[in-house]
Structure 1
Amino acid sequence: MLCVEDDPAMGALLVKELGRRGFGVRHVRSANDALAAVEVEDYDAVVSDVRLGGMTGLELCERLVARRPELPVILITAFGDLDTAIAAIRAGAHDFLPKPFELEELAIRVTRAAELRALRAEVRRLREGIVTPAGIEEMIGEHATMQRVVAMIQRVASSEAPVLIAGETGTGKELVARALHARSPRAAGPFVAVNCAALPEALLESELFGHTKGAFTDARAPRAGLFVEASGGTLFLDEIAEMPLALQAKLLRALQEHTVRPVGSDREVAFDARIVSATHRDLESRVADGEFRDDLYYRLNVLQVRLPALRERGSDVLLIANHALKRIAQRSGKPVRGIAPEAARKLLAYDWPGNVRELMNAMERAVALAEYDDVTVADLPEKIQAFTRSHVLVAADDPNELLPLDEIERRYILRVIEAVGGNRTRAAEILKVDRKTLYTKLKSYGWRPSDPPLGAPPT
């Protein structure tokens, strides 16, 4: 638990006495320190004095409830009048305890708060379990590429083998992961997700494998880690390509042994979770470049679900856009009914580097700006309005304009790279060349994976 008390003596007393009663307690002296603490560590409850220097305990409670609604806050104060109690309730406090109080009473209330949080987490997990079976139905699309994805999900969901979901940013990889979990024999278990790119290496290791009390600064209480928390269910490792090399070795061992070693511990802890990972990177190229372990790649890529880019799905663009428009218009109360023909042509012509997520954002903007019953071109983002597709010149009427064969090859290769969003493995498949040959040619053209797609509007 987290204790917020600006009086050092009172804070030390709470740490000592609650620690004697079995609680792991971290003491901070200001509301700002408390807000920073909950961003980097998980707590079962927060106990805060109302009267603090600077931001008050009531203001802190409001911010904590807004950021972490599942985290119970207990407010204590020497000014236990009715107005303060009402203000605490309005701020979202779980409990209110006036001074002076018995430490045993505080311990009881903290225990109840922690139990309530655990109960809320279980209810949330059960609700997610009810919602997630609709995952496939939420994958709107009639194009053959999406029908193959749906068929693949149905085929591999019942397997225990690891699944790698590949696809560009915004194609719906977590939606696929949830659909796999919901249709698996583990559907009644937890679905636990972590973004490997969102945390620094040390924190990611602790998040995945857990840690012991005192393993590092601020490790006030032991933590099981996500591998153990996902036991009986599915662990979803999003953005797996961003995992540091040193941590990749530890992940490989965990997958091989089905055990993890918490940070600071000398013993292994068993887990039983199915591993589903996802990436928008070309993992084969990262393996070849020495940025990802080949043995880990083969361990994760037993089964693969490849999501098509939105530009590969033809008229699915309009299908998704209309579905999003109706839902957003209904939610906002605006009488927007459809998409004007010229706006629809713009949507179909655009390359959608952000895929479905970008399309949803574009429709949100369009509905907000719409002045008529239908979305017009003027309601679309400027980059969609201004977009022009690149073309490859392979012939001309004037012989002086005809290009050398190597220049035609260069332009065509770069056009294919553009069409597949920079995925060298997919481009090599289309061009019917090995990936090493393609990589050599791209280097000779001065192309880099970070370059924007050809034909994209300037930023």
Structure 2
Amino acid sequence: MTMQRILLVDDEPAFQRLCGAWLSSLGYQVMMAATAEQVHALTAQHSFDLVLLDLALPPSFTPEEGLALLPGLAPAPVVVMTGHADRELALRAIGLGAWDFLPKPLDPDLLRVVVERALTKRRLEHELAQWRARGLQDDSTMGLIGASADLGELRSLIRRIAPTDVPVMITGPSGTGKELVARALHGHGKRAGKPFVAVHCGAIPGELFESELFGHCKGSFTGADRDRIGLIAAADGGTLFLDEVGEMPLAMQVKLLRFLQSSSFFAIGGRAEQRVDVRIVAATNRDLAAMIDEKTFRDDLFYRLKGIGLRTTALAERAEDVAPIAQAIAAAADGAKRLAAPALEWVGARAWPGNVRQLQHCVQTAAALAGKQSEITVDDLALACGEVAAPAQQAEAGPLEAQLAVLEKRLIVAALEESRHNHTHAARQLGISRVGLLNKMRRHGLR
């Protein structure tokens, strides 16, 4: 395993020796710098997994010296160390790219925790970038499975729009994969290595909306026991996805509009204006034009968000995509399962009013019911969807013992679902012991 490399930037020789030796004893490779010139020289020759930066550097020994270095130290996480432990300075440092802020004198135990967390963050970011790169090379479908003309046209539009920063409004019925489209826009654009932050507007209580989006400062309201960054700041450099934007309260629409106009905002209780660079992608299954007429959605916000429009279509309008989507869902299940030929016909013959979300739930449940079997059958799908398999298919089930086994499995699964997988309650409902239930679950491949 490659030794993780830390750059320690501090002008005090005694602190360099002590802190450097302590970090080395933890198994890290440590390089040291005392001036901005030395930092530039080392970062030009080496890549670092973490930077520990004292802000008060020569020649002026003011925090401005260290702050000026922050933008050039990315993508390594930077932990700022300074004796100037005031809140405004911490906010400025974080705004310029610092990951954490520690006051001097340092607590060794706290420093150890912060270093470990920062290095874990760096490792995960590196792994994520590798996976994204592989996905872009291998996935010509953009994660949008199917061969229908509608889907092909949607992929073509995504390829044209993704490299730009224009806002996008995705419309379409619920469960048709609007978030997948948003992720495809992000993953195939110039912001692919940056955060993708999804805000589910219908899931956030109105009184918490402002805090969730913009963040808050310690003491700004009852219960605000620490500073907290909002979702907008978390998306800086990347994409902010506003899902079900039609559910946003009117009062919050005004504040979002102001942010969209200026790309800046104030955290609740904060006096320092924060600027961010995000791409906005919104989605809704509502008729926003009708909502504007009803005065429940602001027209000025609508035109800010609209940009270029993309539309996802219901599965009923692209029935040829149902089978490949179902097969892809099954392949992603534990054990990499597949649908048998009759099962593919079964899913293709249904309308799926809940669209991809309903199909996904059904196939994933059927995959669990299939247990250790590699193929998902019509019987698994029918049980997962709360239906009964066709009589002709039941007649082919085989001898009496096989049919009894199928019935027993159905009863066990139903009891487990009703008891929320509490084995004791499920066993009591079935009239057997808990040990007996576990043995039957094992026999049917349910555990």
TM-score, length of structure 1 as denominator length:
0.55
- 8 Å CA contact retained: 2:142, 2:155: no
Inter-CA distance 152–220: structure 2 relative to 1 (3 Å threshold): same
SS of alignment partner, residue 236 of structure 1: strand
In structure 1, the gaps of 5 or more residues are 1-103, 388-459
2:369 maps to a residue whose letter is L
Inter-CA distance 194–127: structure 2 relative to 1 (3 Å threshold): farther
Using the TM superposition, give the Cα deviation of residue 126 of structure 1 relative to its aligned residue in structure 2, in angstroms.
Answer: 4.1
1:67 matched residue in structure 2: none
1:292 matched residue in structure 2: 297
- 8 Å CA contact retained: 1:195, 1:237: yes
- 8 Å CA contact retained: 1:350, 1:384: no
Matched length: 280
**Are 1:208 and 2:213 counterparts?**
yes
Using the TM superposition, give the Cα deviation of residue 306 of structure 1 relative to its aligned residue in structure 2, in angstroms.
Answer: 1.1
1:264 matched residue in structure 2: 269
Give CA-to-partner distance per residue, 1:369-409, whole Å, 9 cap, x none: 3497754432224557479xxxxxxxxxxxxxxxxxxxxxx
- 8 Å CA contact retained: 1:346, 1:385: no
Inter-CA distance 361–154: structure 2 relative to 1 (3 Å threshold): same
How many Å separate the matches in 1 of 2:222 and 2:323?
52
- 8 Å CA contact retained: 2:142, 2:184: no
1:281 matched residue in structure 2: 286
Using the TM superposition, give the Cα deviation of residue 337 of structure 1 relative to its aligned residue in structure 2, in angstroms.
Answer: 4.8
How many Å separate the matches in 2 of 1:337 and 1:220?
50
1:170 matched residue in structure 2: 175
2:339 maps to a residue whose letter is G
Give CA-to-partner distance per residue, 1:68-91, whole Å, 9 cap, x none: xxxxxxxxxxxxxxxxxxxxxxxx
1:368 maps to a residue whose letter is A
Inter-CA distance 384–299: structure 2 relative to 1 (3 Å threshold): farther
2:335 matched residue in structure 1: 332
- 8 Å CA contact retained: 1:337, 1:374: yes
SS of alignment partner, residue 380 of structure 1: helix
Give CA-to-partner distance per residue, 1:330-370, whole Å, 9 cap, x none: x337xx653343x4343223222322222122112223334
**Are 1:354 and 2:354 counterparts?**
yes
Q: How does 1:159-198 map to 2 (within 5 A)?
A: 159-198=164-203
Using the TM superposition, give the Cα deviation of residue 232 of structure 1 relative to its aligned residue in structure 2, in angstroms.
Answer: 1.6
Give CA-to-partner distance per residue, 1:233-271, whole Å, 9 cap, x none: 211222212211100100001001111111112442211
1:405 matched residue in structure 2: none
- 8 Å CA contact retained: 1:191, 1:235: yes
Give CA-to-partner distance per residue, 1:193-248, whole Å, 9 cap, x none: 22222222232211211212211122222233222232222112222122111001
Using the TM superposition, give the Cα deviation of residue 176 of structure 1 relative to its aligned residue in structure 2, in angstroms.
Answer: 1.7
Q: How does 1:301-340 map to 2 (within 5 A)?
A: 301-328=306-333, 331-332=334-335, 337-340=338-341
Q: How does 1:27-46 map to 2 (within 5 A)?
A: none
**Are 1:245 and 2:250 counterparts?**
yes
Using the TM superposition, give the Cα deviation of residue 142 of structure 1 relative to its aligned residue in structure 2, in angstroms.
Answer: 0.4
- 8 Å CA contact retained: 1:261, 1:267: yes
What is the percentage of aligned positions where both structures have the same residue? 44
Q: CA RMSD in A?
A: 2.9
Using the TM superposition, give the Cα deviation of residue 187 of structure 1 relative to its aligned residue in structure 2, in angstroms.
Answer: 2.3
Using the TM superposition, give the Cα deviation of residue 179 of structure 1 relative to its aligned residue in structure 2, in angstroms.
Answer: 1.7
Using the TM superposition, give the Cα deviation of residue 156 of structure 1 relative to its aligned residue in structure 2, in angstroms.
Answer: 0.6
Using the TM superposition, give the Cα deviation of residue 150 of structure 1 relative to its aligned residue in structure 2, in angstroms.
Answer: 0.4
1:377 matched residue in structure 2: 378
- 8 Å CA contact retained: 2:339, 2:377: no
How many Å separate the matches in 2 of 1:202 and 1:107?
38
SS of alignment partner, residue 310 of structure 2: strand
- 8 Å CA contact retained: 2:143, 2:184: no
How many Å separate the matches in 2 of 1:289 and 1:346?
42
SS of alignment partner, residue 277 of structure 1: strand
- 8 Å CA contact retained: 1:209, 1:263: yes
2:302 maps to a residue whose letter is Y
Inter-CA distance 259–169: structure 2 relative to 1 (3 Å threshold): same
In structure 2, the gaps of 5 or more residues are 1-103, 390-447
TM-score, length of structure 2 as denominator length:
0.56
Using the TM superposition, give the Cα deviation of residue 124 of structure 1 relative to its aligned residue in structure 2, in angstroms.
Answer: 3.4
How many Å separate the matches in 2 of 1:245 and 1:115?
43
How many Å separate the matches in 1 of 2:197 and 2:122?
13
Inter-CA distance 337–350: structure 2 relative to 1 (3 Å threshold): closer
Inter-CA distance 218–125: structure 2 relative to 1 (3 Å threshold): farther
Using the TM superposition, give the Cα deviation of residue 177 of structure 1 relative to its aligned residue in structure 2, in angstroms.
Answer: 1.6
2:153 maps to a residue whose letter is R
How many Å separate the matches in 2 of 1:274 and 1:337?
38
1:301 maps to a residue whose letter is K
Q: How does 1:396-415 map to 2 (within 5 A)?
A: none
Q: Relative to structure 2, which stretch is displaced further, 130-139 or 252-261? A: 130-139
Inter-CA distance 365–222: structure 2 relative to 1 (3 Å threshold): closer
Give CA-to-partner distance per residue, 1:26-60, whole Å, 9 cap, x none: xxxxxxxxxxxxxxxxxxxxxxxxxxxxxxxxxxx
Q: Relative to structure 2, which stretch is displaced further, 120-129 or 211-220? A: 120-129
Using the TM superposition, give the Cα deviation of residue 147 of structure 1 relative to its aligned residue in structure 2, in angstroms.
Answer: 0.5
SS of alignment partner, residue 197 of structure 1: helix
